[in-house]
Chains A and B, each alone.
Chain A
Amino acid sequence: MHSILVAKQENKNKQLATLIAVAIIFLIIGYGIALLLAPKPTTPTTTTTPSPTTQTTGLNEKTVYTYSWSDIEAMAKKEGKVVFAIFGGTHEQDVFNHVCQNFQAKYGIECQVVLGDWYSTVQALIADKQAGKTVGQYDVVFLWSLPFKMAKENGVLWDVNLREIIPNAKKVPLLANMFGTDMYPTDGRYVPIVWWQVVMLYRKDILGQWPNADVPKSLDQLLDWVKKHPGKFTYCDPNKGGSGHTFLMALLYSQYGYDKFSFAGYSEQRARDIMYSPGKSGMNFWDYLNEIEKYMYQPGNYPQGNVAAIQLFEAGEVWLEPQWIDTVLAEINEGRLKPEWVGMYIPEPGMPEPWDGVIVAFNAPHKAAALLFINYLLEDDVQAYIAANEGTFPVVPKAWDLVPADVKKNPAWPVNIPYGDFTAWFYYGPFYFRHAEYMNYMMQKWIDEVAKK
């Protein structure tokens, strides 16, 4: 009996030892793999090694500069296909499918739109890079600042100055082309195709017609307005919706001045120094937001996204909120938002605007077709179509004139754009960008300093 017990105990000990040994082996293997895959001190973005050419053309990072545009067009036709990865919803898919079909009809090049989410698309490119996959699945990828930064830092952009190659890209304002990604420098590896705009949405039927509407025409007047109209203002959780964090950046700029942030270097210390110091209101940024919160709709309860915020407006719960033009336009077109309720304006000193755009993937199988397609996206009529159907401003100057008059009459467009004329605004500015890193800091601190309090 005793020997059986001893044998059992020994067996258990053996099993335990085996288990520990296997765990240690796996840890060592995992550690080794992690070390092998860990990023090297030099980031891959600086690499200028030409990638292998595509199967059908001799286009790479060096040779692309030597070809004329007509050569590239001919190569694109030879490649015969372009794959455009987009993010958004089915509406964006419909809009870009339409654009793609027209491109196909014009050039005879097959055009495929792939709807995904930006995060997965960039991760797929990074995985391709790490696996050494030189011919990938996407040619043109639609991105915004954060994924662009991820893509650039991981070296998955085609390392070519697109602005220099693509004729229509030169029509995009240089500043927006280079810094429209929330001031993160693009080095021309990114071309904006849409100009999103957050504005203030207000109840026109209650607060009156512009310019006599009872609204805070300047962001400096917002606190007084919310005190006068308690429970009638909201903004969405900045970590759940772009209208929230874009509005907070506008408020930040109004409190501390745009100059403090525009193209400024970033450090956490500086961000803290600014946001915890008294602003124009005499309060630091967080106290100012908490003061506003006291008079907001259901204080402390923030709508969880752009749509959740506009639903409160549609239900008549709030009278004023920051909102994207495209969201308002879509809600009116879908019949959920009464157009007679809708007033849209840009408060002083302005609302920042992200210019989302496209890159060419480092391993795009059809690089010439990708260049031709981006050029097509920047044609005046295509830009007008995107603007009218997406509710964005065009990124090339003459397109606005081609937007149908009935679309422009929609109340979803702000009534007080600078100069009262889009073309003048386009040429003379101001372009008001968000600073990605300060915005990132602000969004994280907002949880600690506003949501948690």
Chain B
Amino acid sequence: MSEVRRVSIWYLLPLYVYLAIYLVAPLITVILGAFGISPLIQGGGPTLDGFKQFFSGGSKYLESLYFTFWNSAVATLIAVVAGYMFALYLTIRKPAWWDKFSFIPLIAIYTPYLIAAFMWWTLLWPRGYVALFVNGVLQALGVIKEPLYLVNDPYGIGIILGKVWYTFTLTFLLTYGPLQLINPEIVEAARMLGASTRTIIRRIYFPLSRYALFASASIVFLDNLTGVSVPLVLGAAWPQYLSVVILNDVTLFNNFLMAFTSGFVYLILSILAGYFFFRFTTKAIVHQVR
């Protein structure tokens, strides 16, 4: 081993120790726990029972995972589309009021998730203003007869609304910056050649900002997938997010084996989703820069 390499190992040792203690050790705890090896599991020992239970037919864990995925995906889709459209609007129209009110969307990302969740609950519960308004309008129009459940509902409408509230801002912030970096001369040239706004969005803005859009979508999706506060407060008795199932397994049922197993599966899926998105977007951004 060369002198340089030896010295660099010593310099990097604190980083290795940090990674081992703060990153690797907790992950190993979860992985071992999923296989029944943990002091928290009564009568524990190497076992695959957790996985058998998790993946058995009709298992509540599988249903919960499925719900977590599709609900997070819908929330992500809405947040990304709305956030990106807003960023595009600001980029193209450059409204004069934006400078004065640009702090308003930021309130959402400074608000703790739990507070946001309770705030939405008070608006969406059967006597909440939003619920009364939405149901009142829909009933007046004859669209529905019975009021809709907008919170603690089996479709996770409350969860989606609660999540979109803050991930909208996140998406907007992540896409607004890259949109500002697009050379305005290209847009100007397109306009001079007679391109409509729709064409400019389709041919210039979207292609030049799509990787930022994918990257923000991946961040928002992972955030939605793993959060606990919003589904805990706004979710139904069933279906529940996997994070809520884990919380109940630990604090109510003292079932650490299933909590670790769910955690392990969650972890793998998050890593896979994260890896897929980030690898794709990183490569694409590098390609775009070249």
Contact = CB atoms under 8 A, between A and B. Distances in A.
B248 A239 contact: yes
B127 A315 contact: yes
Nearest to A39: B39
Given A150-B254, A444-B253, A447-B237, A38 B127 contact: no
Interface residues of A, number: 38
A30 interface: yes
Contacts of B238: 447, 451-452
B43 A39 contact: yes
Interface stretch (B147-155, B172-180, B218-226): B147-155
B211 to A, nearest CB: 26
Given A30-B25, A37-B39, A39-B43, A119 B152 contact: no
Interface stretch (A99-107, A184-192, A296-304): A296-304
B158 to A, nearest CB: 10
A34 B253 contact: no
B20 interface: yes
Nearest to B38: A34
Nearest to A446: B237
Contacts of A237: 237
Most chain A Cβ neighbours within 10 Å, of B42, B233, B238, B248: B238
A153 interface: yes
B251 interface: yes
Given A38-B45, A308-B125, A30 B237 contact: no
A133 interface: no
B25 to A, nearest CB: 7
A39 B42 contact: yes
Most chain A Cβ neighbours within 10 Å, of B42, B237, B248, B250: B237
B44 A304 contact: no
B236 interface: yes
A301 B250 CA distance: 24
Contacts of B45: 38
A257 to B, nearest CB: 26
A447 B248 CA distance: 12
A130 B153 contact: no
A137 to B, nearest CB: 21
A356 to B, nearest CB: 16
A155 to B, nearest CB: 12
Nearest to B127: A315
A155 B127 CA distance: 47
A119 B253 CA distance: 12
Interface string B247-277: 0101111100000000000000000000000
A119 B249 CA distance: 12
A298 B237 CA distance: 13
A146 B252 contact: yes
B210 interface: no
Contacts of B37: 31, 34-35, 38
B28 A304 contact: no
Interface in A149-173: 149-150, 153
A30 B34 CA distance: 13
A311 interface: yes
A331 B49 CA distance: 45
Nearest to A451: B238
Given A298-B126, A308-B125, A39 B237 contact: no
B187 to A, nearest CB: 42
B239 interface: yes
Contacts of A302: 152, 236-237
A34 B153 contact: no
A451 B24 CA distance: 37
Given A30-B28, A31-B32, A452-B60, A38 B237 contact: no
Nearest to B25: A30
A305 to B, nearest CB: 9
Interface string B6-38: 000000000000001000110011011000011
A65 interface: no
A317 interface: yes
A448 B238 CA distance: 9
B237 A153 contact: no
B126 A26 contact: no
B237 A130 contact: no
Contacts of B42: 39, 153
A34 B32 contact: yes
A124 interface: no
Contacts of A312: 126
B235 interface: yes
Contacts of B28: 26-27, 29-30
Given A119-B251, A304-B152, A452 B32 contact: no
A240 interface: yes
A289 interface: no
B200 to A, nearest CB: 43
A276 to B, nearest CB: 16
Contacts of B235: 304
A451 B38 contact: no
A25 B235 CA distance: 41
Interface of A: 26-27, 29-31, 34-35, 37-39, 119, 130, 146, 149-150, 153, 237, 239-240, 298, 300-304, 308, 311-312, 315, 317, 440, 443-444, 447-448, 450-452
19 contacts: A26-B24, A27-B28, A38-B37, A38-B44, A39-B43, A119-B250, A237-B237, A239-B237, A239-B248, A302-B152, A302-B236, A304-B152, A304-B236, A304-B237, A315-B126, A451-B238, A452-B63, A452-B238, A452-B239
Interface of B: 20, 24-25, 28-29, 31-32, 37-39, 42-45, 60, 63, 125-127, 149, 152-154, 233, 235-239, 248, 250-254
Q: Give the 5 A-B CB pairs with smallest separation, nearest first.
A: A451-B238, A30-B28, A451-B237, A37-B39, A237-B237
